[in-house]
Amino acid sequence: MDDNFLRRALVPGSMEAGIVRQETDKKVEEMRANVKKMLDTLIEQVPGQLFRDIERFHQKFELPPTDDPGHRLPDDVLKFRVKFLYEELSEYAAALGGEIDPDGELLLEHDEFNAEEAYDALLDLAIVCLGTAYLHHFDFNAGWSRVMAANMAKERATGADDPRSKRGHAGDIVKPIGWKKPILEDLL
């Protein structure tokens, strides 16, 4: 751009000002697209980072994922993992001031709530859950993306009496008409 062009670009309504505005608008849109792409990349890395941490943990303790083509774990490992998951869930219930009955209901025995223990139990539950997925050799990140996309297509229950709610609670998330479950088969 020469000096004359720049001087004319400063004149409101001039052709040169219009050209500068168009170029500026293009650059702003490019920058917005780049920022969005960077943010999306960072968001995608969150579950990836969690699963990379799990992989490092299992490698440190020489707990490799299954090499079974059907992703099945040996029976003793399956029983251990389910017991481990239940143990962490029970610790969460205890931090809430209760316990889990045989039907899976939370029985609140007292009003004591220990936020730190609840927090710790939820973190441990997530670690055990992710570790179990790792041992099954599931492509967790790809599956996570698909399940989250399907979950984002759901709706909040209209109330505790919403017939779509399997749990009978206003806080339930339910499947609207036409909802499609995520396809995971190709990831196995």
Q: What is the pLDDT of residue 43?
A: 65
Q: What is the pLDDT of residue 98?
A: 92
CB count in 10 Å sphere of residue 84:
17
Give me the residues paired with residue 106 across strands. 100
Cα–Cα separations (whole angstroms), residue 110 to 10, 41, 92, 99, 153 = 73, 44, 14, 10, 37
Tell me the per-residue pLDDT of 63-119, one tens digit each, with 9 for 90 and over.
999 999 999 999 999 999 999 999 999 999 999 999 999 888 899 887 889 999 999
Position 50 pLDDT exceeds 80: yes
Q: What is the pLDDT of residue 154?
A: 95
> Taking the domains of the chain in order of start, what are their residue ranges?
1-63
Whether the CB-CB separation of 162 and 174 falls below 8 Å is answered with yes
Tell me the per-residue pLDDT of 160-175, one tens digit each, with 9 for 90 and over.
999 999 889 999 999 9
* Overall pTM > 0.75: no
Position 34 pLDDT exceeds 90: no
Q: What is the pLDDT of residue 95?
A: 94
Residue 150 burial class via C-beta count within 10 angstroms: exposed 0-12, middle 13-18, buried 19 and up: middle
